[in-house]
Amino acid sequence: MKKKQTTLKYLLLVIAGIFLGAVVFSNFEFRMGSGGITLTGKPNFATAKNNIENYPIQTLKSFNEAFVQIAESTTPSVVTVFTEKKVNERVMTPFHFFGNPFDEFFGNPHRSPDKSRRNVQRGLGSGVIVTEDGYILTNNHVIDGADQVYIRTSDNRRLDAKIVGKDPKTDLAVIKVNATGLKAIPFGDSDRLRVGEWVIAIGSPLGESLARTVTQGIVSAKGRANVGLADYEDFIQTDAAINPGNSGGPLVNINGELVGINTAIASRTGGFEGIGFAVPSNMAKQVLTSLITSGKVSRGYLGLNIQDIDDNLAKGLHLQRTEGVLVGTVMEGSPALKGGIRTGDVILEFN
């Protein structure tokens, strides 16, 4: 009797298990295929939000929102710069029937001259609006030699631009469009920028289809010189991603202020490798003012060559000490010549 009760108990448990399984899986259908089991149906996914309210997460959310606000406030000031340049291309005259191919190399006075045709070279870069009435900062190498320049704004307007002035020594240029009410970016003080600060680069890398791309990084270094990019080098180095097409676009700080003009990258492959350079905003502002005012940048100079005085030079010149510098050549009409400095003079100090 006891054995029958035990058997009945197990049988009821099995029946209950089958019933529960039928209820749980009644909304699903299993299909067998060569790739295994596929579950079809309407599973009940979790709808409750994660209750993440601790301090680190809230800090990250605030940090995230800060970047969003910077991007939203600065991208309307960024434009894509297009250039067109007309060039003559040589068109080789085909060989005459049974002609001599060596004539192509050694010449033939009876051969008809080669023809040339006009072609258009197109270029693309970035720029940043610095005044509401249409002055735009960009790189000199973006617009240098262009016959036509035009821009496209963040609201997709195409505006013709004229070149106001260029400064190859800093690789900066200013162009102007006839428009009002544009969103001008505020200038920041690049001298106060510190290594390690967050910065954002905005531009049109690799083409118009990627216009106003936003990338972020930090200030890797300041005062970079002797990198072979311009005569006057005081670059901000950053690891914010910069690629061809970014040239002339803004580098901004976390206050949404312009702190640099993205200019170039250091790369072994031609692509971004984490080393980008930007002209500091303080230098750019000085160049901007000069180009708008006079169309050029005037810089002070002395107009002379000098040489350090070492022991041998001091002995040869019968000098009592190895201090100061020896004046070599003095340029005609230079401020140095007008000031009375002559070749062979020794300058001990100046003020």
Known catalytic residue at 171: yes
Which one of the listed residues 126, 190, 247, 281 is annotated catalytic?
247
CA-to-CA distance for 257 and 134, rounded, in angstroms?
A: 18
Which one of the listed residues 171, 220, 239, 290 is annotated catalytic?
171
| CA distances from residue 177 to 92, 130, 133, 141, 185 in whole angstroms, order as listed | 40, 12, 8, 19, 16
Known catalytic residue at 141: yes
Which one of the listed residues 77, 141, 167, 220 is annotated catalytic?
141
CA-to-CA distance for 309 and 288, rounded, in angstroms?
A: 39
CA-to-CA distance for 101 and 104, rounded, in angstroms?
A: 6
Known catalytic residue at 247: yes
Residues serving a catalytic function are 141, 171, 247
